Chain A
């Protein structure tokens, strides 16, 4: 039971390094401003940060300096593993576990095993894509410190945000906020690590003047 509780706690509250401050959150007016700000944050050498937009912005991965996703490798390995399982299971059943002559064909009649091999390969690839994406994105995460900001709700509507986490080696509350302002942020706020979830209508938490 203790194990289950631990897992549940992990899902509800992502493991964060110690510290009272989660990081800085900056809002930008347009995708274009966000795009250029991302280039600025990238060039300033930050590594633990993210951009949040209501829709995909083409080229943002380059502006953020993100490396190619590792997900394709997960999909490839899972697809090949699924295909190998399909072929292996049928081959084992037909030659070792329960050899049976079917329409006079050899026990190991590989062409007959291809459809199942193919389908299990597709299944493995699809499962790898979905759950690999979950794993890389640390989903499901039911709560996140950024939810403390009421302004951040607009990330799913019409707001464009950059969040820089406080445990980034280059993070310094004053200088990071300063950088984000210089990059054209409309608003910058510091977000605490632990807080009660904001209720609708609350004033924005700890907005910097």
Chain B
């Protein structure tokens, strides 16, 4: 499958012909058990959460906040996958074809996340969102002013719209990609390219308003126009950490040995570094403007996050979500070293989780962090749902877009 016209190194060790069997998840491979493991985790985690959460009113409030953190964690990775697929098509990227199917499988989890994790959350709205109570709105002129936007009916309608947009994009791009596996039709690549820029616009708007609705409105008096980008930056970073882990784990377990190389891993590492920096840029831009203007209705967000142990969490985020990983990921050798990149990815996923926890939980525990068993069970349950859906998608289709016209370019890709 090598391209004779390409001026690449002729000494490439990769074979000219790929074995079809090596492009599917082989029978007996440990990843075939992912859906089963995922559903067990989901049942145990979500069932345990429900059992624990029904114990008392305080536990119920904790349940919905923990559930929201866990749900946003897996949703952000799925959304990152959708973003990656859209960008690769919009830019006609060649290098990424061999990892695009992994992103397509990640975005294929969106309907599961919506049905199993977001639908229950709608029942927790009363515990999550202060503004959803009519008596709370009555005495608050700001909430009365925002009521045409912030009311339960419109909120639910918007949430349905966001998921409809994401599901439609994920379904359409996934379907055309699979169709190309069967037909090899190059026109499909052109159609996906033409659809991706409008798709990106829809994605950007829907993610922005989703973040406004589900995170910013937790404290409805507060607002920040950059907040949508802040959530997006963390999500994209989390996805690249996830992608790096999947690629490294695949190579360790002998999957796609002839396909994935240090070169692809290196590029994913570059993206990871980029989004570490981009998240910091967004986070600091938000902080700088609020700090400089010093208006009480804006500073309240940070005032709540320098109280008690939240202060330590804020410091850990600044260091662990930016300073340390930024300098750690700078050298070329780190991005090409599987162990180092996997370690950085695990650390950054943990930081992303802390970031979401830091966004949600001060509304429930204003005095400081209060770890709860429900945080763990809800997270396990949400990750279980994601793993099950992701593993199911892995089994259903080839591990790479088999007949993408740029697959040969991707196979022999090298960083200059």
Which residue numbers of A lie inside 8 Å of B, CB to CB? Answer: 31-32, 35-36, 39, 55-60, 62-63, 68, 72, 76, 103-104, 111-112, 114-115
Contacts and interface: CB of A to CB of B under 8 A. Distances in A.
Top 7 A-B pairs, shortest CB-CB distance:
A59-B9, A32-B10, A58-B414, A58-B8, A58-B9, A31-B7, A111-B291
Contact of A35 (B11, B288, B331): B11
A114 to B, nearest CB: 6
Contacts of B12: 59
> Which residue, A31, A57, A58, A68, has most C-beta atoms of chain B within 10 A?
A58
B292 interface: yes
B7 A59 contact: no
Given A72-B332, A103-B294, A59 B288 contact: no
Taking chain B's interface residues, is the majority helix, strand, or loop, or is none over half, making it mixed? Answer: loop
Given A72-B332, A76-B330, A59 B414 contact: yes
A60 B8 CA distance: 9
B7 A57 contact: yes
B284 A59 contact: no
Interface of B: 7-12, 284, 287-288, 291-292, 294, 330-332, 414, 416
Contacts of A31: 7, 10
A112 B7 contact: no
A111 B284 CA distance: 9
B9 A114 contact: no
B9 A60 contact: yes
A31 B10 CA distance: 8
Nearest to B287: A111
30 contacts: A31-B7, A32-B10, A35-B9, A35-B10, A35-B11, A36-B10, A36-B11, A39-B11, A55-B7, A56-B416, A57-B7, A57-B8, A57-B9, A58-B8, A58-B9, A58-B414, A59-B12, A62-B9, A63-B9, A68-B332, A76-B330, A103-B292, A103-B294, A104-B294, A111-B284, A111-B291, A112-B288, A112-B292, A114-B284, A114-B288
A103 B7 CA distance: 60
A58 B294 contact: no
Nearest to B263: A58
Which label, helix, strand, loop or mixed, suits the secondary structure of the A interface? helix
A59 B291 contact: no
A36 B8 CA distance: 12
Given A111-B291, A114-B288, A58 B330 contact: no
Given A58-B414, A72-B332, A115 B288 contact: yes
B416 A58 contact: yes
Nearest to B8: A58
A171 B294 CA distance: 71
A32 B8 CA distance: 8
Contacts of B10: 31-32, 35-36
Given A36-B10, A114-B284, A114-B288, 19 more contacts: A32-B10, A35-B11, A39-B11, A57-B9, A58-B7, A58-B8, A58-B416, A59-B9, A59-B414, A62-B9, A63-B11, A68-B332, A72-B331, A72-B332, A76-B330, A111-B284, A111-B287, A111-B291, A111-B292
A58 B94 CA distance: 15
A60 B7 CA distance: 11
Nearest to B12: A59
Given A103-B294, A112-B288, A59 B11 contact: yes
B294 A59 contact: no
B176 to A, nearest CB: 31
B200 to A, nearest CB: 26
A72 B334 CA distance: 14
A59 B292 contact: no
A25 B10 CA distance: 23
Nearest to B285: A115
A114 B287 CA distance: 11
A192 to B, nearest CB: 32
Nearest to B9: A59
